[in-house]
Amino acid sequence: MSGRLAGKIAIVTGGTSGIGEATVRLFVAEGARVVIVARRSGPGEKLVADLGSDRAKFLAGDVAVEATSTNAIELAERWGGLDILVNNAAMDWTSPILETSEADVRRVLDTNFIGSFLMLREAGREMLERRRGSIINVTSRNASVGVPTMGLYAAAKGALLALTRAAAVEWAPDGVRVNAVAPGLTQTPLIRSWIAEQKDPAGFEKEVAATIPQGRMAEPIDIAGAILFLASDESLHITGVSLAVDGGYTAA
What is the number of domains present in the chain? 2
Domain contains 61: yes
Q: Which of 27, 93, 153, 249 is catalytic?
A: 153
Same domain, 141 and 212: no
Q: What is the pLDDT of residues 181-193, one digit of tens each?
A: 999 999 988 788 8
Average pLDDT, the chain: 96
Question: What's the CATH number where 17 sits?
Answer: 3.40.50.720
- What pLDDT shows up at residue 57? 98
- Quick one: pLDDT at residue 149? 86
At residue 96, the pLDDT reads 95
- Classify residue 251: in a domain, yes or no: no
Q: Is residue 250 part of a domain?
A: no
- Domain of residue 24: give its range: 9-183+219-245
Same domain assignment for residues 83 and 200: no
Terminal CA-CA length for the chain: 41
* pLDDT in the model for residue 169: 98
pLDDT digits (tens, 9 = 90+) for 125-155: 999 999 999 999 999 998 999 989 889 999 9
The answer to whether residue 232 sits within a structural domain is yes
The confidence score (pLDDT) of residue 75 equals: 97
Q: What is the pLDDT of residue 219?
A: 96
Query: Which whole number is the average pLDDT over 16-24?
Result: 97
Please indicate, yes or no, whether residues 97 and 199 belong to a single structural domain of this protein.
no
47, 159: one domain? yes
Shared domain for 94 and 196, answered yes or no, is no
pLDDT at 249 over 90: yes
**Res. 6: pLDDT tops 80:** yes
The pTM of this model reads 0.95
Do 34 and 128 have their domain in common? yes
Q: Residue 112's pLDDT band (boundaries 50, 70, 90)?
A: very high
Which long-range contacts does 108-114 make (Cβ < 8 Å, 24+ apart)?
108/152, 108/153, 108/156, 109/155, 109/156, 109/159, 110/64, 111/62, 111/63, 111/64, 112/153, 112/156, 112/157, 112/160, 113/156, 113/157, 113/159, 113/160, 113/163, 114/64
Q: Are 163 and 119 in contact (CB under 8 A)?
A: no
2 lies in a domain? no
Q: What is the pLDDT of residue 191?
A: 86
Residues 151 and 191 in one domain: no
Phi, psi dihedral angles at 55 (to 5 degrees): -115, -20
Over pLDDT 70: what percentage of the chain? 100
Are 62 and 140 in a shared domain?
yes
Quick one: 169 and 156 in the same domain? Answer: yes
Q: Are residues 62 and 149 in the same domain?
A: yes
Lowest mean pLDDT among 45-49, 109-113, 128-132, 193-197: 193-197
| Whether residue 198 sits in one domain with residue 97 | no
Mean pLDDT of the region 168-182: 98
Residues 237 and 112 in one domain: yes
pLDDT of residue 2: 82
pLDDT at 1: 72
So what's the pLDDT on residue 207? 93
Tell me whether residue 249 is one of the annotated catalytic residues: no
3 lies in some domain: no
CA nearest neighbour of 157 among 86, 224, 108, 223: 108
Residue 193 has a pLDDT of 84
Residue 1, in any domain of the structure:
no
d(CA 239, CA 189): 30
Is 133 part of any domain? yes
